[in-house]
Structure 1
Amino acid sequence: MSPRPARSAPRSRLLTWLTAVGAITALALGCPGTSVAADRPNPPVSADVPAPAAFLRGTLQPDVSPPGANDWKCRPTAAHPRPVVLLHATWTNAHMNWSGLSPLLKRAGYCVFAPNYGGQPGVPFKGSQHIPDSARDIARYVDRVLDATGARQVDLVGHSQGGGVLPRWYLRFEGGTNPANPAKNKVRRFIGLAPSNHGAGASGLGNLSTALGLNSTVSLVLGQAYADQMPGSRVNTTLDRDGDTQPGVDYTTIVTRYDEVVTPYHNQFLKAGPGATVRNILLQEICPQDLSEHISIAYDSNALQLVRNTLDPAHAKPVRCRLSAPLIGG
């Protein structure tokens, strides 16, 4: 899909915005680092952690696992035979992203694993490196989970990059699937919350930086994952060339119409290819009053119930459509 240059927004305004964002992010990131899949001992499983508290602790202790995750002695049950691997978004970490869903799944009886990737230990904002490099790290991490648990397959749940181009690259190019024999796939279900499929237009700013040829420059500060997720990037065109899906995988996207990062929001939807199934869910078609946007969807109880229903459709429960607000969820 060819990006369309914006018809307004002066170049000087864009450069001012990029400079401000770059300065703030540079302070947070330091510099893009190597991927890490290491994890600290998981905190006790308790009540779900609110988004502000998770963000604060994830900033102060960026390598601590979310509650309930990374118990390497966990063994899957007959009721939940596949471990669930949670993949965080760009410029976050596992604790920030998954302190709501991880304890929810752990209490439901799942073995839950949540790696950090694409950033140095001790740096809060990870997921910034080149997406194919991160996909190789996720491949090694999934193999580690399979070896530790004795499971044959995992289910993936991801947010933004972690629900979009990163796992899609892993599934296609880094051994997550076996097109010649899908029964040997390492992944059965793949659920993307606000996934960064087909280009993150960022409410026009991403399209504009693409049109002006600034993505490489911005990525010097924000990390290569920025350019990789822009419309028309090499990562996106490579992934889209042979279709969205891999045989033998059940795909689900859970999308909010208020997404301000992966825009237009329907860019997040997938189209099923041979041997795959796709369910594209627009959150507001189920809960019209849901106000979650790109960030808060990971702490939206309505979206998280849809995740649970997708992981275990035989025991799906109705979504109660609770109030969920921008930035904090609910």
Structure 2
Amino acid sequence: MRTTVAGIVAGVLAFGLIGVGPAAADQARYPVPYGPAGIAAAAAAELAHPYSDPPGANNWSCRPTAAHPRPVVLAHGASANMTENWQTIAPLLANTGYCVFALTYGVPAGTPFPFDQIGGRNVMETSAADLSAFVDRVLAATGAGKVDIVGHSEGSLMPDYYVKFLGGAAKVDHYVALTPLWHGTDTAGLANVYVLARMFGLGPVVDTVVGGAFPSALQFLAGSAFLQKLDNGSPAVPGVSYTTVITKYDEAVVPYTSGILDAPNSTNVVLQDLCPQDFGGHGMVAFDPNATQVVLNALDPAHARPVECSFVPLAP
């Protein structure tokens, strides 16, 4: 997820800095901005305080409670970082009583500022190893036996490599995936273009150009070797509870149904089936009040609350 300044300004001008959603209960410790206000907060935090922890996150003295015994680890999307991706969900979870932790992953070593703010670029196998080390640090600090994971975009897919191949299945309980692409994407026909390029012997050129700038990008494409390995049998790993949150207006995951995970331990939620007036796109889901209630319900199903549908504007 990467939101342009122009998009932020347009959203703010069109809809105002109004946080919609279950705000009264969520303001106990940290403000929780929703919708365009959340996107604006993300931009402001990134500009004023790059590298900063999202509100409520990375309190390494936090100890899980009986009500919320598992820390929540947040994994951002491609081209994003922890600062901008979690200005809504991190404070919401902290206010609700969770120990919340977030990392920025996938930045090639030696990348200078400001380009080091563009995360999720390393191949996902490398990022999954980074996530593994981070989860171990969280478990050691909190004394918990397992974590829950909430991921957005690439962060909804990359952690499954950790779960499936790097021992994460024993350390992850709930896995909430926002705008996932379990079966890849064919945005603007790029997956087919890449197939044609390889047919005509241009695959190495594409690999060199794209791989040099954004090594993980080709892994997102439908049919990639990475996705084939992850999908061997099923992406879903027994013993882990998956919840996927999908929007029909996803401009980055094409078709949006790529986010459906067909497995007995997976619950698939299409936002528009719950709330027809939710027009949020790929990036907006991380700030969407309807999606955030789904997240809370997935993490604590015993205390699930109905989603009180809020209007969410059409925005990427």
TM-score interval (norm. to shorter)? 0.7 to 0.9
Match in the other structure for 1:278: 266
Match of 2:168 in 1: 176
TM-score for the superposition, normalised by structure 2: 0.82
Counterpart selection for 1:127 from 120, 123, 130:
120
- CA distance in 1 between counterparts of 2:226 and 2:213 reads 17
C-alpha separation in 2, matches of 1:207 and 1:100? 36
Say if 2:149 and 2:172, in contact at 8 Å, map to a contact too. Answer: yes
89, 95, 105: which one aligns with 1:101: 89
Q: Is 1:84 paired with 2:67?
A: no
CA deviation string 1:256-293 (max 9, x = no partner): 01111111111111121xxx611011110000111011
Residue 249 (structure 2) aligns with: 258
Residue aligning to 1:231: 222
Structure 2 Cα separation of the partners of residues 206 and 195 of structure 1: 17
- What is the aligned partner in structure 2 of residue 15 from structure 1? none
Structure 1: 5+ residue runs without aligned partners?
Answer: 1-43, 178-184
Structure 1 residue aligned with 2:62: 74
User: Aligned in 2, Cα 1:308/1:218: closer, same or farther, shift over 3 Å?
Assistant: farther
Asked if 1:198 is matched to 2:183, the reply is: yes
* C-alpha distance in 2 between matches for 1:200 and 1:250: 24
The alignment's C-alpha RMSD in Å is 1.8
Which residue matches 2:30? 46
For the pair 1:143 / 2:136, whether they are aligned, the reply is yes
Q: TM-score, normalised by structure 1?
A: 0.79
Q: Deviation of residue 46 (structure 1)?
A: 2.3
8 Å CA contact retained: 1:69, 1:111: yes
Question: Between the two proteins, what is the percent identity of the paired residues?
Answer: 43
- Find the partner of 2:152 among 149, 159, 162: 159
What secondary structure, in the 3-state scheme, does the structure 1 residue paired with 2:254 have? Answer: coil
The answer to whether the 8 Å contact 1:203/1:264 transfers is no
TM-aligned CA distance change 1:158 to 1:220, over 3 Å: same
Structure 1 equivalent of residue 23 of structure 2: none
SS in structure 1 at match of 2:117: coil
Deviations 1:170-219 (A, max 9, x none): 00111101xxxxxxx10001010001211121242344344334652452
Match among 231, 234, 250 for residue 243 of structure 1: 234
C-alpha distance after superposition, 1:230-266 (max 9, x if no partner) = 1111100111112121110000100001111111111
Question: Counterpart of 1:211 in 2: which secondary structure?
Answer: helix
Residues 255, 173 of structure 1: alpha-carbon distance in 2 compared, 3 angstrom cutoff: same
